[in-house]
Amino acid sequence: MKISVNSKVENGRLSVNRAALSRAMHDFEGKEVTITIARKKKSRSNEQNRYYWGCVIPIVRDAFRDAGHLITQEDTHLMLRAKFLTEALPIGEDGEFIDHIKSTTELTTLDMTIYIDNIRYWCAEFLGITIPEPNEQIEIFND
């Protein structure tokens, strides 16, 4: 079990959510715990997630389909994550590494922006397609 408690530090003390921290400590009574204090980061936004799933993924999926690869939106997402969110994690002391593919749920708003920008640039260069900016209006003409 993992419990996260957000608070603010003022004058060397926790200023909010002290009761939540006390409850968390009660839940782990008699157990060994690891306490980590880290600066809170803003997770990817709902707007970024909607843009990614509603615009980026469908356009990339359609480009693959046009090339003859019948893949789903989920497959497209997994391939893009593997391409742009893979990081090598060291294991042991002998220089061995293992690949870890980050989840988009782990990304901050800045990380998500960089991830999407990398996809957009790659699509333009290698697939010859343009993915519109989130605030960009596109027109579709029906003949």
Q: Are 61 and 71 in contact (CB under 8 A)?
A: yes
Amino acid identity, position 112: M
- Could you tell me if residue 141 is inside a domain? no
Q: Predicted confidence band at 139 (pLDDT cuts at 50, 70, 90)?
A: low
d(CA 68, CA 49): 27
d(CA 44, CA 119): 16
35 and 52 belong to one structural domain: no
- Could you tell me if residue 136 is inside a domain? no
61 and 16 belong to one structural domain: no
Task: Give pLDDT tens digits for 70-101.
Answer: 999 999 999 999 999 999 998 878 889 999 99
Across 36-45, 68-77, 117-126, least confident range: 36-45
DSSP-assigned states of every residue in 22-46: HHHHHHTTTS----------PBPPH
33 and 62 belong to one structural domain: no
70 and 92 belong to one structural domain: yes
Residue 93 in 3-state DSSP?
Answer: coil
57 and 104 belong to one structural domain: yes
The pTM (predicted TM-score) of the whole model is 0.69
- Could you tell me if residue 137 is inside a domain? no
Task: Give pLDDT tens digits for 3-35.
Answer: 777 777 888 777 666 777 778 778 888 888 877
Which domain does 55 fall in, by range? 46-127
